[in-house]
Chain A
């Protein structure tokens, strides 16, 4: 029921002394607290980092106001609140009764008398709320506490003053799909009649232990709520017609709360008379146990220690070395050992640090399964991206290519000089890279400098195998050469012909995109790329993917704008090329989200471009003008992204309809620079300095968090880990 305070919980909040923790979630923490005069309250706080968002803060205030409107008979009486504090809080009575879902877990389906009494009392609560022009919008079993004197409705996190435009923009499909009204599921206005629908659903749950539209994924539930008949099997016969009427798809045909209350109960007896023994015993237990809670505080966890990374070895400039030609390359090669990796134990099986001669530093407790230190990317202009290759995570860092076993964090290899993150690619199984020949016989006397070599990387050792392709008509040492992507046995390469320059592109260079068959090493086609301006340092390609017979690339133009370009994979012919307005290059530097029909782009409105002709199939600008979405990710016909200020959303890939939306009021802090990472049960998204797991089932609620300063997150499905890359570390968190 309660847990001790942690060492960093404050002593007091407002005039309240904290006694214990009652719960903690994405939004904040709930404490048991007391005044100097001994009054005990439940004190709900909002994390300061969430409160820094004005929208979250105003929702917090609205929740307080709605709780005041509903009052202490039908809600948790508000004692005091300070929504303006740095950590906003509000104090309510400590309610002695379980949430309805726990009650049903405990007792099984409730007897008809309980269902009727509960329903009639909830009609009273809703009637009072509606009379004050407030609609709850998220009535569900976990938001109803069953006390000995009647139910209390809590959690007005998404309640809305009727007609309040400011909060209308919370948008469609807010709520819990299993108990949503059809109009809410369809993104329409959810009025008082919507609460009646939800109430009936809740009573079906109380009577049968099942929601009226079953369980399952959000998108399915949203469909069933709108179009399927409710399942009333197991509902007592006399209740079926009444509840069916409330569950009418048409809100205008649903009864009022007064009518419903009269049908449910004649008002005889006391509420407690209608409750089953097991539920009453649980209420009695809660009434007693709250008096057993004594103030306790956990000690500060012992400072764990770790071995600091060797300070970055001073690295001579690559470009400087290259000025000296082939001979200098050999020198650079000798520096490959400067790979700065060191493992440090997280909570998992990673080995203790093996590095020596390093000072010991205190560190914070890690939430990661494992964490290792890695050097920063060699070229800060293009950040490193971890790649998933078989059981490995592969990363260009320091001066080389590292392969880390995703399961354990062991470094399998750290080898072969490799400084440009854009010269390695994978199809998930095979790792291909561009290789620069050592200054040897290879380049002697050849025009244009050095050949461009393509080689597979041995995943056991990290060594490049003998090159499978060699092209002498381009200059292999140009920094801007790119391995754009590999897919279906084909490597797509951008390479230039002409003189090397330390200062970026030269106008005299000519650039090509070509496709290479990996098995034969043969060039399949070659196309030219538009010339780059003298001195430009912009790489041509930000990201690429192959789908639907198209090589889809996001390209950076000379003026820094981003274009989406689709080429025929067989011929290289450009099928379409369109600008992506308002998209910043650094936000789309990753493989784009594609399925067989569409390219999905965020960083502004979320839009779907048809692969066939590049036209906008749908976008969110019409529904939500001004809404900004982070980079999307595609999974099973759905496209998921973080909506700025709102949290994660799932849209139908075909039509762009919102099928799922994060709940729990914590989405305001959602990071919109990285796509969400999708696991079987949770979607992961960073908020502040925490990676949050959000259940993408019907609850859509943030479930747990991991402290991390990681910046880039990817899924490594085979090891069931989320891989996080931070400035100087690589870490793994559970992917569930």
Chain B
């Protein structure tokens, strides 16, 4: 099964590809459509779907490891994400049992992966959007670091845009990809531009790596790629983002500095930056379209007994 099946689906604004997707059952869920659009060509650390419990009652965002990935490492990171705090945290709320094929899920809400948002908008996002996004993500990572955690997985695809702000997903994707000490360059699912050099070479992920990854991700939002020329960056935060992307972790700014630079001196942070207008109209239209399509989507029901059908584990 390819990660990107049904990828022309609702997430990108088309009709859900029910014929193929809805036949597929993962744990207690039936897949409605893929979340990511392969046409963006941005690597995604997980296979992500919009899915629904077989009783039709709960719609979720469902994540699976890539074929060939280590399902135990994947599940360990998903388990760790259950305790994440902060405004943009997206903790897992359901996980596969350890002796079953790996998956985890969280309640559905309409979201566009950042690369899809750029595609829908027709190019790099407006400065206002990048400011709001960056401030909210920096605030969230600051909470995480305060918990003594390192996210180790910030990348363009890990950022989902929802109506009320971003959600940061793919927690621990770098750690899940390979154990420390193993070079991680070129591993599937890891977007090279947002992988900090010290982690690419096998180093243990540390908080300042998250600053690098966030800088790259915001550079992507503002320019369309994660390793931009300095001139391409909007003047307002050219300096701040360039500092994030230095090879030497010690030269990177703190999250507080970054948030201040992005907020442009607004002391209330993301709360005011996420006011109406923070998302471009077409991104909102795509969110509304996805929501409407998922509201309309119907999973097949196997006779009257369908709501009580026990979850069927998917043979691997």
Contact = CB atoms under 8 A, between A and B. Distances in A.
Q: A and B bound?
A: yes
A97 B55 CA distance: 28
Contacts of A275: 281
B56 A148 contact: no
B299 A37 contact: yes
B279 A284 contact: yes
Contacts of A36: 55-56, 301, 306-307
Contact of A37 (B284, B288, B290, B298): B298
B292 A284 contact: no
Interface stretch (A285-293, A342-350, A383-391): A285-293
A196 interface: no
A32 to B, nearest CB: 10
A277 interface: yes
A639 to B, nearest CB: 48
B84 to A, nearest CB: 20
A35 B295 contact: no
A40 interface: yes
A34 B57 contact: yes
Contacts of A298: none
A180 to B, nearest CB: 32
A94 interface: yes
Given A148-B288, A270-B285, A288-B109, A39 B298 contact: yes
A275 B288 CA distance: 14
6 contacts: A270-B282, A271-B285, A280-B276, A287-B288, A287-B292, A291-B109
Contacts of B52: 37-38
A281 interface: yes
Interface in B96-114: 107-110
Contact of B163 (A35, A272, A273, A284): A284
B288 A38 contact: no
Interface in B163-200: 163-164
Contacts of A285: 163-164
A259 interface: no
A93 B56 CA distance: 17
B162 A288 contact: yes
Closest 5 CB pairs of A and B: A277-B277, A281-B276, A284-B163, A38-B56, A37-B298
Contacts of B307: 36
How many A residues are at the interface, by size bracket? 20 to 34
B4 interface: no
B297 interface: yes
Contacts of A147: 288
Contact of B285 (A272, A277, A290): A272
A278 interface: yes
B135 interface: no
Given A37-B301, A96-B288, 7 more contacts: A38-B53, A38-B57, A97-B288, A272-B285, A280-B279, A282-B276, A291-B110
B295 A37 contact: no
B284 A283 contact: yes
A280 B57 contact: no
Interface string A250-285: 000000000000000000001111010110111111
A461 B279 CA distance: 72
Nearest to B128: A277
Interface of A: 34-40, 93-94, 96-97, 147-149, 270-273, 275, 277-278, 280-288, 290-292, 295
Interface residues of B, number: 36
Contact of A284 (B107, B288, B300, B306): B288
Interface in B287-316: 287-292, 295-301, 306-307
A94 B295 contact: yes
A148 B284 contact: yes
A93 B275 CA distance: 28
Nearest to B53: A38
B155 interface: no
B282 A273 contact: yes
Contacts of A39: 295-298
Interface in B212-242: none
A270 B288 CA distance: 14
A272 B297 contact: no
A308 B108 CA distance: 53
Contacts of B275: 281
A686 B291 CA distance: 42
A412 B57 CA distance: 58
A388 B306 CA distance: 63
Contacts of A94: 292, 295
B33 interface: no
B8 interface: no
A291 B288 contact: no
Given A281-B277, A284-B279, A291-B110, A35 B56 contact: yes
B26 to A, nearest CB: 15
Contacts of B297: 38-39
B59 interface: yes
A93 B285 contact: no
A96 B57 contact: no
Contacts of B108: 291
Contact of B289 (A149, A291, A295): A149
Interface string B135-164: 000000000000000000000000000111
Contacts of B298: 35, 37-39
Contacts of B289: 148-149
A292 B299 CA distance: 20
A40 B299 CA distance: 12
Contacts of A290: 291, 295
Name the residue in A38, A278, A290 with the highest tally of chain B Cβ atoms < 10 Å from its Cβ: A38
Contacts of A96: 288, 291-292
Contacts of A149: 285, 288-289
A295 B162 CA distance: 23
Contacts of B53: 38
Contact of B287 (A97, A271, A273, A287): A287
Interface string B4-46: 0000000000000000000000000000000000000000000
A93 B295 CA distance: 8
Contacts of A148: 281, 284-285, 288-289
Interface string B247-287: 00000000000000000000000000001110101101101
A133 B56 CA distance: 39
Given A273-B282, A280-B281, A291-B291, A38 B163 contact: no
Nearest to A79: B296
A297 to B, nearest CB: 15
A292 B292 CA distance: 14
Nearest to A150: B285
B59 A291 contact: yes
B108 to A, nearest CB: 6
Contacts of A34: 56-57
Nearest to B304: A36
A94 B297 CA distance: 12
Contact of A287 (B107, B110, B296, B301): B110
A284 B287 CA distance: 7
B292 A38 contact: no
A640 to B, nearest CB: 44
Nearest to B56: A38
Name the residue in A35, A37, A147, A292 with the highest tally of chain B Cβ atoms < 10 Å from its Cβ: A37
A22 B296 CA distance: 17
Contacts of B109: 288, 291-292
Contacts of A286: 288
B232 to A, nearest CB: 25
A280 B277 CA distance: 8
B116 to A, nearest CB: 15
Nearest to B58: A38
Contacts of B55: 36
A272 B291 CA distance: 16
A40 B109 CA distance: 14
Interface string B47-86: 0000011011101000000000000000000000000000
A529 B281 CA distance: 81
Given A148-B288, A149-B289, A288 B282 contact: no
